[in-house]
Amino acid sequence: MTYTLAPMKTGRPFGVLEIPDSHFPLNLDDKIPAIRELYRRAKTTAWNPATDIFWERLDLSKYTEEELFAARQYWSRLAWGEYGAISESPALLLRYTKERREPDLSMFWTIRTQEEVRHADACRRMADALGGYMVEPVTKDLEDSVATHGVRGMSFDADTPLEALFGSLICCAEVIAFDVFRARIKTTTDPVAKQILQLIFRDEVRHCDFGWKYMEYRVPNMTSDDLAVVRNKVIWMMEEVELKGYHSSWLAPSPNVTEMESDRVVYEAGLGATVEEVEKPILVKSVQEMRERMRSWGIEIPPFEHAKMGTF
């Protein structure tokens, strides 16, 4: 990857925001047909959280006060997570255009952002339907675990190739979240919770696909230096984000017991959560599959260690 170099002959690139704007020639032909196809599909599968969910099927009388409170908390947290995806989105969009990437990326990403909006909206509505959306974590110290994972900062760092963001943010983090999501659908028995999860899942399939497809397109033309940065960012994402409990609180070095217990209440009520024993094998399998796919890019992802997971 070549960047505009800073003028002081330091060999350092400008930050992404300093890359001069340049719009022409603007070729809107399909450059990456696989991604253009995801864009087309995304446009035909739009859904509306207000009208496409069978809200009337939500029967609160089946649940205890404790279950409803835990579920409100849980769905509020899902909404915060989805909102995080919205807030990181423009940074990447700006990067695609600043670096004059293939327009297929920007076209797909714009719809992807709308989809994250839909997810946040649906989760917020579910929390409301369960008794009330919560605007912030009940426990103050949980705020860190729902904060962004630094992607926005990296998006503007020209030293981090875009492919390293794709590798770590999409092919690693989003794919793990997706695999856990699939399990969540299986263990959820409430019909409305299940329907929302299924609708979100349908969109997330494309989000993950998008990352893999772009990497497959780019990898043959990447330098070994850039591939090494991709590898480092994936390892960072695993060790500093995933295994520190970003998606699953039970993985945190000092897990919040209240949150874990609350997740279990939601899980046992069939209202949407998963728990440690369900997620563990999924995480192992997900990382194995990621490792295999990245090996075909010429990237060797090392084993990871975690007190609760062992070496995997």
Instruction: List residues near Fe ion by CB under 5 A.
Output: 82, 116, 119, 204, 207
CB of 200 to Fe ion, least distance (A): 6
CB of 299 to Fe ion, least distance (A): 23
Closer CB to Fe ion, 114 or 187, in the complex: 114
SS (H, E, C) 145-203: HHCCCCHHHHHCCCCCCHHHHHHHHHHHHHHHHHHHHHHHHHHCCCHHHHHHHHHHHHH
CB of 274 to Fe ion, least distance (A): 16
Greatest alpha-carbon span in the chain: 69
The neighbour count for residue 57, using CB atoms within 10 Å, is: 11
Closer CB to Fe ion, 79 or 164, in the complex: 79
The beta-strand segments (E) located in the chain are 305-306, 310-311
Closer CB to Fe ion, 82 or 163, in the complex: 82
Closer CB to Fe ion, 112 or 231, in the complex: 112
CB of 152 to Fe ion, least distance (A): 15
Closer CB to Fe ion, 67 or 204, in the complex: 204
DSSP state letters, 208-230: HHHHHHHHHHHGGG--HHHHHHH
Contact yes or no for 233/168 (Cβ under 8 A): yes
CB of 125 to Fe ion, least distance (A): 15
What SS3 state is found at 23?
A: coil
Closer CB to Fe ion, 158 or 215, in the complex: 215
* CA separation for the pair 154, 152 (Å, rounded): 5
* CA separation for the pair 29, 227 (Å, rounded): 28
200: Cα separation from own chain's centroid: 12
CB of 92 to Fe ion, least distance (A): 12
Closer CB to Fe ion, 173 or 222, in the complex: 173
CB of 156 to Fe ion, least distance (A): 21
Contact yes or no for 184/273 (Cβ under 8 A): yes
